[in-house]
Structure 1
Amino acid sequence: MDSITSSQTKTAIQHISESVFVGLCRKLGTAELVSMKRDVMDISEIVRNQGKSSVGKSLMLSGSHKEGFRLEGSDVDFMLWPNDHHVIWELSQSQYFNTHRKTLILCDCSESPPGFTLLYLLSPSMDRDIQRVCVKMNNRHYISSSKHRQNFLSESSFNSTLHGPCASRTIGTHEFDNALCFISAFWPPPASSWIDRCHSWPQPHIVEDIVKNGCHFVAIGHKLGRHEDHEWRISFSLAEQKLVYTLSHCQFLTYGLLKLFLTEIINNGLNDDDKLMCSYHMKTAVFWVIQKNIISHWCPQNLLESFWVCFKLILKWVYEGVCPNFFIPENNMSLSKIHGEKQQQLFIRLYGLYEKGLAFLLHSPSIRSYIINVFHNPRLSICTDEHTLISETEFDGTLYYEILRNDTIQKLDIRSCTKYLHTINQMIGSPLLTQYQVLKLQKLTADVLQETAFILHMKTYTHKNKLRYKSDKISYHILKLAAKFGCITDMLYNTMYYYKKLRCMEALSIIEMIKVKLAQRYVMHWSFVDAERYTVCVWGQSWSTKIRQAVVGNIELHNEIHYINELIPEQQSALQNNKTTLFIPPFVLLYMLEILCYRHVDTIRAQTALDDLQILVHYDQRQFIPLCFRDISWQILGICQQVTGNLQAALYSYQQSLKQEQYHYIQTATQMRIMEICQLNASIS
């Protein structure tokens, strides 16, 4: 530490800190970018949970993704809990619930380590899954965490594995962790001391908000507990989110730097079993340092000093073998992994880094260049004004990505669609909404309206002509309305509906309109855009206007809703593996619909569209077809080749689809289509 605080190096360290601050803003986002990501995620979650059924499950995005990070390889964590089961800490709290409609669960911490508890049913649960995972002890029915995990895993998505209390599944470069848990509306008595510690941070109104929202319970016991297989860990995920939201941007970037330090230096090259420290240790260190007020002023100039203070605290924890949980300090988080020989090895490694001083950060690929730049040019002028670090186009691109990304809102029946629209309508005029949240609600409106139109068609398909005519008229009107709220390619839903109703000329008219819009040089397709033309052509427009005129998004097909007959086998195949959505690159679907509409009226134009689709799928360099969507793109090319009679080309395309990363789990449909072609070839020969 002497080398950090000496007068000879302090100015240089401050200069490097400013450079690292700039690098982290570009890597992790400026304060406005991070705030925007949180706003968009929060409003989606609110709409989803307010529109939920009282007997369904609530869902909360947690972990680093919810905190505002978008780091490569970071887990995307979801917590789900039943709305009709509530955990209480003492019997007197039962007065707040209608026990005829709610199942109450009582905590029993008497035989569990700090931070853990047993849960037993005060009244029988109507949920058969919960009934199956109960064990009887002392004439009480306890919910077994280990049985609960296994039961959840067996019902989770294809290829899921256990990861702590979660069912974990890897899709592309992301790992998705889903934890089925329980909720308590009451703050845990074991964490009551935390309230008394909050003198300077967080502020009283934040403490009050955290306490009134209670806690969760995740299905994993303490490795040294007497009832490890049946214990539940008290989870403060919601409280932690609220605390991270209160961090200044320099505090947030310090936390981010610690996360990069963990992944790029401490855990670099280690397998999962040898990774003794996790991101939660880094977050806990930041919380303790802030609450103890060790650093008086957090700013870009002392970013590395702040990091160093947190690093020293972590080093101390490893040396002592004691890492106190921020909410329940008696819960030593080092007991499970960091002890014995492994603890000694980790300390030796970390102390070796400590002796090198901040120079060890040169091993971090994410910030190495920002340190070297200052070494090579000590007089380099560094501007830490965040508004100059990200261009308007970069900001807009990130905003559109967050707005268009997949939501957890399930719109599978008219009733739920109506409920979501009512929820959005109630929220849209609120003065408390940010401009980003208003934009997200606009896109959600388009999504819900599109699903409503197709669901309405499915519900009235077998009805009499007069009723079906009225239903179709309503659906057409709904889709036209939806197109006014969504992005350019949302008009493809209208095209699918017209094609489904055999109104091909009207479908082709929309396709031509979409093509004209997509041909504009200022159109943004994810991160690909002519920044200069974008700035010139849409400068000064509202984001609501920009997203309608200049933004392209992927097409999401919910697999329980049939959009066009040609894709039903793919949807059914995906559903068999619990994949609820097909994501189709817009240009792929555009060409597919053009081919299907033209194939009986203009074979030349149909062949031209097929040629365009083939060139796109064969030669695209991830500009229009992300790597994870290549399975469905090759599949659609094969379908189009098959319906136009080119069986050999279709066979090749289906084989290519099987060779891609199986993001959509459509292999069953692919193999079925290959078998069809083989049978046709056999009959012809």
Structure 2
Amino acid sequence: MALQKMSESVYVGMCHKIGTPQQVASRRDIADISELLTNQHDVRRLMISGSRKEGFRFSGSDVDTMFWSTDHRVIWDFSQSAFYNIHRQVMILCDSSESPAGFTLLWLPLERAGQGVLLSCVRMNGGLFISSSKYRDYTCTAITPDSRIHGPCSTRTEGSEEYGTLDHDNAYCFVSDFWPPSAASWIDRCHSWPPPHVVNDIVRNGCHFVAIGHKLGNHEGNEWRISFSQAEYKLVYSMNHTQVLTYGLLKLFLKEIINNGLRREEDKLLCSYHMKTAVFWAIQQDTLPHWCPQNILAGFWVCFKLLLKWVYEGICPNFFIPENNMFLSKIHGQAQTSLFRRLYGLYEKGIALLLHSPSIRSSIIDVLCNPRLTVCTDEHTLISEAEFDVQLFDEIDRNDALHSSDLQHCIKIVHTVEQLIGSPLTQYQVVSLQKHTATTLQCTAFILHNISNTGVNKQMYIADKISCHMLKLAAKFGYVSDMLYIAIYYYKTFRYREALSVLEMTKVKLTQLYIMYEECVDRERYTEAVGGQSWSTKMRQAVARNIKLDYEICYISELILEQQSSRQNSWPALLIPPFILLHMLEILCSRHVDTIGAQTALNDLQALVHHDQGLYIGDICRDISWEILGICQQISRNLQAALYSYTWTSLFP
């Protein structure tokens, strides 16, 4: 009974650390919609992989993305070429005859391909093969020149005004629509898990090939590893929440206990992929009859014992191709012995070993100190409505990255949205799609104005009508702060009074006491105002976010230099707090129609920037807020004050 209560306490603690079932589901659905809309290019596709795709949000985690071309297809035998137009698509044939399990050579039988692929080829055995090392070098230098090679990936550290700096691992790979013959036994193993519809979906979608060979293979520099990333996230999606949290618990166990104190990467013999593999095998082998909150510690222990067994034997079988021993090139000899001793020392401590984990410790101690503690695992008691909504809209904003300066791309996204409207969508996908549509309409409106500003009156008139309509439409189902895009457009087209009218309406809405801006919200007032309503309604009536200005689109000339600076820092867009932009637009518009109003707005902006305590300006936007204050002071001829404001911007990293 004590172990059961401790398990329930750990389950609740992990829900707070990793997310409730609802939170994890919302992250996945929102990311999937974003990925679907992003993949509207004719020949290029991408897929987010790793823990972010699976629904985890660990701070500091890398962002893993796979890229491939749709006009290059990998086949396993010549008969499969019948499914393609070989005159339009490049056929790449697998040759696994000389490669270890899970690896292959990629042969170009017709010796034609894209330039980057041909530059990466080598002659072997009378044929032309794509070298993984050459291709990796090519993508690292030609496609992402500011990156470094990390395994099969090009890795670069990107800055984000919202989320700090993160490592982005980009794997440029090839795709096959066919399931690998070497993984055929996996299909036969799937009796109890995953369910048949998941198996069929996985097999139907084939696999990928990433640019890294086996260290002990005969052709290490030229071989490619078969990647099951797509299959893996589908497997994680099919887990119940206890299984997901067990996987998360193992990831924390690895980071906070096993690898704790190990600074060199080469000393970290076990990785997150080994943890995932252990969970997959444990679930499929039906080692634990019931994966439920009361059994999460038992599930963890089953997986830990499996890892211990693998380290002892020096064999970690790949889940899809068991003949591929993932320990073969790294965990052997003295390293294997030392790792086993360390793990066995932890095993002897029993479940108390988790007391060494800062993330888990308190959940165990709570029960040890109070054996009569009542633990409720109902997810509706674990997080309030307002707290969930903060996380939800933050997730939507993180994935709202479809800011495009390409009109054709925007049109494709709108067409895709039209098709999705009639399809079955989850509630999270609906609200996410709503915001993506608003963003795309906003980008389209400004692009259309910029390209039609040719001096031909009729064209300009028609484009203006369309742009105005799109911006008003976007404001009807976007955030409250999205009304500011209308004011930007009116200022850009010299309609200062109309802009001021929109700004006045926006100010009234933004100053409501229940408005949620970023993570700042009066939870009681928010719940009173929109509690129980749909997320679509909440977004329209009670949510404000930072305004995003894509650096490739000209919005207003006064911010062009700031957009260029944002681009140089590798930020996807310039972020401006809504009240800062509102006051700036008031100043810019009032200068033409109401000089007293302009001075009043400047005073309001200065007071906000100088005295705000995080209510209207987040920490990440302090820099741009001081910069905009300086711009407005300079426009108003207050050069001394402007110099002071510009000086303050240098104090922010």
CA RMSD of aligned residues (A): 2.1
Aligned with 2:506 (options 491, 510, 514): 514
The alpha carbon displacement at 1:648 in A equals 4.3
In the alignment, which residue of structure 2 is the partner of 1:642? 634
Aligned with 2:67 (options 69, 73, 80): 80
Aligned with 1:138 (options 95, 115, 125): 125
Aligned with 2:254 (options 239, 262, 271): 262
In the alignment, which residue of structure 2 is the partner of 1:26? 16
In the alignment, which residue of structure 2 is the partner of 1:337? 330
In the alignment, which residue of structure 2 is the partner of 1:4? none
The alpha carbon displacement at 1:293 in A equals 0.7
| Aligned-partner SS, 2:149 | strand
**Structure 2 unmatched runs, 5+:** none
1:541-579 deviations in Å (ceiling 9; x for gaps): 222111001001222222221111122233334445665
The alpha carbon displacement at 1:649 in A equals 4.2
Once the two structures are superposed, the pairs formed by residues 226-375 of structure 1 within 5 Å of their partners are 226-271=218-263, 272-375=265-368
Counterparts of 1:369 and 1:648, CA distance in 2: 54
Once the two structures are superposed, the pairs formed by residues 478-627 of structure 1 within 5 Å of their partners are 478-575=470-567, 579-617=571-609, 620=612, 623-627=615-619
Query: What amino acid does structure 2 have at the position aligned with 1:305?
Result: A
Report if aligned partners of 2:30, 2:396 keep a CA contact under 8 Å in 1.
Answer: yes
Report if aligned partners of 1:134, 1:141 keep a CA contact under 8 Å in 2.
Answer: yes
Does 1:62 pair with 2:55? no
Query: What amino acid does structure 1 have at the position aligned with 2:552?
Result: E
Q: TM-score, normalised by structure 1?
A: 0.90
Q: TM-score, normalised by structure 2?
A: 0.94
Change beyond 3 A, Cα 1:398–1:578: closer
Change beyond 3 A, Cα 1:538–1:574: closer
Report if aligned partners of 1:446, 1:482 keep a CA contact under 8 Å in 2.
Answer: yes
Report if aligned partners of 2:202, 2:231 keep a CA contact under 8 Å in 1.
Answer: yes
In the alignment, which residue of structure 1 is the partner of 2:85? 98
In the alignment, which residue of structure 2 is the partner of 1:668? none
1:390-422 deviations in Å (ceiling 9; x for gaps): 111112222212222234535333322222111
| Aligned-partner SS, 1:405 | helix
Counterparts of 1:148 and 1:554, CA distance in 2: 39
Counterparts of 2:148 and 2:426, CA distance in 1: 38
Report if aligned partners of 2:575, 2:621 keep a CA contact under 8 Å in 1.
Answer: yes
Report if aligned partners of 2:402, 2:440 keep a CA contact under 8 Å in 1.
Answer: no
1:43-102 deviations in Å (ceiling 9; x for gaps): 2222332xx2322x1111111111111111222211111111111111111110111211
In the alignment, which residue of structure 1 is the partner of 2:451? 459
Report if aligned partners of 1:634, 1:656 keep a CA contact under 8 Å in 2.
Answer: yes
| Aligned-partner SS, 1:370 | helix
| Aligned-partner SS, 1:571 | helix
1:598-651 deviations in Å (ceiling 9; x for gaps): 344444543443444445445555554444444444433333333233444444
The alpha carbon displacement at 1:526 in A equals 2.2
Aligned with 1:403 (options 396, 399, 410): 396
The alpha carbon displacement at 1:587 in A equals 2.7
The 10-residue stretch of structure 1 (526-535 or 571-580) with the greater mean CA deviation from structure 2: 571-580
Report if aligned partners of 1:158, 1:578 keep a CA contact under 8 Å in 2.
Answer: no
1:220-242 deviations in Å (ceiling 9; x for gaps): 12222222222211110110011
Change beyond 3 A, Cα 1:315–1:136: same
| Aligned-partner SS, 1:110 | coil
Change beyond 3 A, Cα 1:173–1:273: farther
Counterparts of 1:538 and 1:150, CA distance in 2: 53
Report if aligned partners of 2:481, 2:578 keep a CA contact under 8 Å in 1.
Answer: yes
| Aligned-partner SS, 1:484 | helix
Counterparts of 1:579 and 1:534, CA distance in 2: 31
Counterparts of 2:333 and 2:376, CA distance in 1: 47
Change beyond 3 A, Cα 1:361–1:131: same
The alpha carbon displacement at 1:493 in A equals 1.1
In the alignment, which residue of structure 2 is the partner of 1:43? 33
Report if aligned partners of 1:103, 1:122 keep a CA contact under 8 Å in 2.
Answer: no
Report if aligned partners of 2:402, 2:439 keep a CA contact under 8 Å in 1.
Answer: no
The alpha carbon displacement at 1:536 in A equals 0.9
Counterparts of 1:133 and 1:336, CA distance in 2: 25
The 10-residue stretch of structure 1 (155-164 or 82-91) with the greater mean CA deviation from structure 2: 155-164
In the alignment, which residue of structure 1 is the partner of 2:427? 435
Counterparts of 1:636 and 1:650, CA distance in 2: 9
Query: What amino acid does structure 1 have at the position aligned with 2:26?
Result: M
The 10-residue stretch of structure 1 (162-171 or 318-327) with the greater mean CA deviation from structure 2: 162-171
Query: What amino acid does structure 2 have at the position aligned with 1:20?
Result: V
Aligned with 1:222 (options 210, 214, 231): 214
Aligned with 2:3 (options 6, 10, 13): 13
Does 1:118 pair with 2:128? no
Counterparts of 2:54 and 2:419, CA distance in 1: 26
The 10-residue stretch of structure 1 (11-20 or 345-354) with the greater mean CA deviation from structure 2: 345-354
Report if aligned partners of 2:403, 2:440 keep a CA contact under 8 Å in 1.
Answer: no
Report if aligned partners of 1:158, 1:577 keep a CA contact under 8 Å in 2.
Answer: no
Does 1:169 pair with 2:162? no
Report if aligned partners of 2:30, 2:399 keep a CA contact under 8 Å in 1.
Answer: no
| Aligned-partner SS, 1:217 | strand
Does 1:188 pair with 2:169? no
| Aligned-partner SS, 2:31 | helix
Query: What amino acid does structure 2 have at the position aligned with 1:30?
Result: T
The alpha carbon displacement at 1:204 in A equals 1.6
In the alignment, which residue of structure 2 is the partner of 1:676? none
The 10-residue stretch of structure 1 (229-238 or 403-412) with the greater mean CA deviation from structure 2: 403-412
Change beyond 3 A, Cα 1:239–1:587: same
The 10-residue stretch of structure 1 (151-160 or 315-324) with the greater mean CA deviation from structure 2: 151-160
| Aligned-partner SS, 2:46 | strand
In the alignment, which residue of structure 2 is the partner of 1:416? 409
Counterparts of 1:635 and 1:295, CA distance in 2: 58
Report if aligned partners of 2:449, 2:464 keep a CA contact under 8 Å in 1.
Answer: yes
Change beyond 3 A, Cα 1:462–1:112: same
The 10-residue stretch of structure 1 (365-374 or 289-298) with the greater mean CA deviation from structure 2: 365-374
The alpha carbon displacement at 1:433 in A equals 1.0
1:322-366 deviations in Å (ceiling 9; x for gaps): 111111111111123323333333222222211111112112222
Query: What amino acid does structure 2 have at the position aligned with 1:114?
Result: A
Report if aligned partners of 2:403, 2:439 keep a CA contact under 8 Å in 1.
Answer: no
| Aligned-partner SS, 2:399 | coil
Counterparts of 2:626 and 2:149, CA distance in 1: 32
1:359-379 deviations in Å (ceiling 9; x for gaps): 121122222211111111110
